Chains A and B, each alone.
Chain A
Amino acid sequence: MSDQKSAVDGKTAGAGGKSTPLVKMVNIHKSFGKVNALRDINFHVDHAEIVGLVGDNGAGKSTLIKIVSGFHRADKGEIFYEGEKVNINTPKDAKRLGIETVYQEQALAPHVSIARNVFMGREPTKGLGFMDRKKMDEESMGTLTKLGLRIKDPEAVVEALSGGQRQGVAIARVLYFEAKLVILDEPTIALSVKESQQVLDFTQQLKAQGISVIFITHNIFHVFQVAERFFILSHGEALTDVKKEDTNIDHLIELIVSGRKEKK
């Protein structure tokens, strides 16, 4: 067991009560052929908590996230959702539990309106499959307002929005459909400083709505401001799982650069 703290958490799984994490992954292993993508990972997210999942390219961040969102299956290990053991075999299983992933750029249709993007594939209808466009317009604007994003025209096409606003539309979609855990995959990667700040604000808004967030990034500076806990991966192993108050940015950078576990 590499990480003492996680080991203790592992034993209390399923105990119930207020301290039960929303999602908890225990002893996760995953390999692709001979490559060990993940080795013995213990990871959890509490209710309304923002976790920064940090690591270099190829560290295993995506693999871990794809396991919890149903795109991959772990070779070994268990997943608990609010203390109950669950099997997440398909993306649909994950969605049913309220686990939603927001992928950069892949999420939106650029030449289609905001309202049509928010309701893509889940359009409200007035019967016979005809779209309730008034509802789509009103609800999409309402959800964007909840995120602190004000856009006048729900019929505006996504291409006309800034990068930060686009992320807002993608996040509004999962917010509207009542996600419990939102996974943001490199949400700031192609954004300006100002736009990145906007995305960080959205993250805070999600927390304020009681939603948990996993914020994936390879840039610790992007996530340090908002995350309450940091989970650092390197070559498929967990380097640390530490609360913000127990660390500082220099220490985290040192860990990432050295790629070695903390000595305790």
Chain B
Amino acid sequence: MQRIVNRFFGFRASFTLIVFIALLVFFGIFSADRSFFKVAHLTALARLAPDLGIVALGVGLLMIAGEFDLSVASTIPLSSFVFTKLLGWGSPLIICLFVTFIAGMLVGFLNGMMVTKTKLPSFIVTLGTMLFWRGLIFAASRMMPIGIRAWLDFGSWLEKMLVGSLFGVVPVQILWFLFFAIILGVLLHFHRFGNWVFVTGDNVTAARAMGVNTDGVKIACYVILGFLCSFMGVMQNIRIESFTANQGVGFELKAIASAVVGGTALMGGIGSIPGIFLGTLTIQIIENGLILMGAPAFGISAFIGAAIIIFAVLNVAAARVSGK
């Protein structure tokens, strides 16, 4: 029994899981008219939460490897812009998608190269690239939204694939979120690459001494994140039927918050994909639940902020309980 308890708290997001369930019960009871568990709300949650979640998976993976990426806030609109432009030029959908993914991965690759070659803190490097790309996008778009309906027919395969619903009820976005979580979870926890990610973030000197290509691991994580940002950029673009210059604004910190709530350490070496998945959902249900309870929508960030600090404290406590 003691062993099971230890194992449970050894999972750093164990408190997050407890609080997540408690929050579900709490909002279920106290939201006006029990609206929290109504189908309309749940489908809205399943459609919107994956925007943050898909990015948070990549941000969390990178944090476990010991690095940050603030430039996700620009990779997202950049991908959306590239996708929109390609559509406007009449490229086939598959090409639009493919080129956009390449662009996102390229942005990630450049971040990774700069961080590993300059050996500067990634916080600084990606703050720089975030502002750089944002400036370019603002200039190129003159900050005007660009609708895509003129070029994308209703009911195209791409629309069904990225923003449709399964059986007319389940939004595909949540399935994509699950899909990426499973792929990355298997990669991080069962593949040798995952072990390299952990040891690179935990003790980069030791990892290098044991022959792990730590720079390569970090660059790979940046590229994975770049891909996830471009995927999410396109997904959001099609949902809102346009490119807007402020897509992704604030996501850089919200994604870090999701990862931290899910038990990821800011210093690297600790974290899990199930934790990050849960962390994202927790942040989203706090936001939605409070609004459904009638909290002032513009003041929500105060609650989110408090939640982040509380979870960070709880996760450290969980680690202490398990003696790990």
Chain A residues with a Cβ under 8 A of chain B: 91-92, 103, 106-112, 116-117, 119-123, 125, 129-131, 133, 156-157, 159-160
Instruction: Tell me if B206 and A106 are in contact (CB < 8 A).
Output: yes
- The reply to whether the CB of B286 lies closer than 8 angstroms to some CB of chain A is no
Q: Does B306 contact A (CB under 8 A)?
A: no
**Contact mask B40-63 → A, CB, 8 Å, 1/0?**
000000000000000000000000
B154 at the interface (CB under 8 A from A): no
Asked if B203 lies at the interface with its beta carbon under 8 angstroms from chain A, I say yes
Q: Mark B175-196, 1 if CB is under 8 A from A, else 0.
A: 0000000000000001111111
Contact mask for chain B residues 14-57; partner A; CB cutoff 8 A; 1 contact, 0 none: 00000000000000000000000000000000000000000000
Is B211's CB under 8 angstroms from A122's CB? yes
B209 part of interface (Cβ distance < 8 Å): yes
| B171 contacts chain A at the CB level, 8 A cutoff | no
Closest CB in chain A relative to B185 CB, distance in Å: 13
Spell out B's residues near A (CB within 8 Å). 190-196, 198-199, 202-203, 205-207, 209-212, 265, 269-270, 323-324
B192 with A107: CB separation less than 8 A: no
List A contacts of B195 (CB < 8 A): 112, 116, 119-120, 123, 131
B202 touches A121 (CB 8 A): no
Query: Smallest distance from the beta carbon of B198 to chain A beta carbons, Å?
Result: 5
Q: Check A121 against B191 for contact (C-beta < 8 Å).
A: no
The answer to whether B209 touches A106 (Cβ under 8 A) is yes
Complex Cα–Cα for A108 and B206 (A): 6
* Chain B residues, Cβ within 8 Å of A112: 195, 198-199, 202, 269
Q: In the assembled complex, how far is the CB of residue A215 from the closest CB belonging to chain B, in whole angstroms?
A: 19
4 cross-chain pairs, A with B, having the tightest CB-CB distances, nearest first: A109-B202, A121-B210, A123-B192, A109-B203
- Are B324 and A156 neighbours in the complex by a CB distance under 8 Å? yes
Which chain A residue has the least Cβ–Cβ distance from B268?
A111
Q: A111, B202: Cβ atoms under 8 Å?
A: yes
Evaluate contact between B193 and A103: CB separation under 8 angstroms: no
Chain A-chain B contacts (Cβ-Cβ < 8 Å), number: 70
Q: Give the distance to chain B from A131, nearest Cβ to Cβ, in Å.
A: 5
**In the assembly, what is the distance between CA of A117 and CA of B202, in Å?**
11
**What is the distance, in angstroms, from B308's C-beta to the closest C-beta of chain A?**
21
> CB-CB < 8 A to B324: which residues of A?
156-157, 159-160
A109 adjacent to B198 (CB under 8 Å): yes
Chain A residues in 8 Å Cβ range of B198: 109, 111-112, 116
Asked if A122 and B190 make an inter-chain contact with CB atoms under 8 angstroms apart, the answer reads: no
For B269, give the chain A residue with the smallest CB separation. A111
- Which residues in B have their C-beta under 8 angstroms from that of A160? 323-324
User: Which of A91, A109, A130 is the one whose CB lies under 8 Å from B191?
Assistant: A130
In the complex, residue of chain B having the shortest beta-carbon distance to the beta carbon of A157 = B324
Across the interface, A129 reaches (CB within 8 A) one of B193, B210, B270, B323, namely B193
Q: Within 8 Å CB of B206, what residues of A?
A: 106-109, 120
Query: In the complex, what residues of A have CB within 8 A of residue B209's CB?
Result: 91, 103, 106-107
A129 CA / B193 CA spacing, docked (Å): 8
CB pairs A–B below 8 angstroms (25 shown): A92-B211, A103-B209, A108-B203, A108-B206, A109-B198, A109-B202, A109-B203, A109-B207, A109-B269, A110-B203, A111-B202, A111-B269, A112-B202, A117-B199, A119-B195, A120-B195, A120-B199, A120-B207, A121-B196, A123-B192, A125-B192, A129-B192, A131-B191, A156-B324, A159-B324
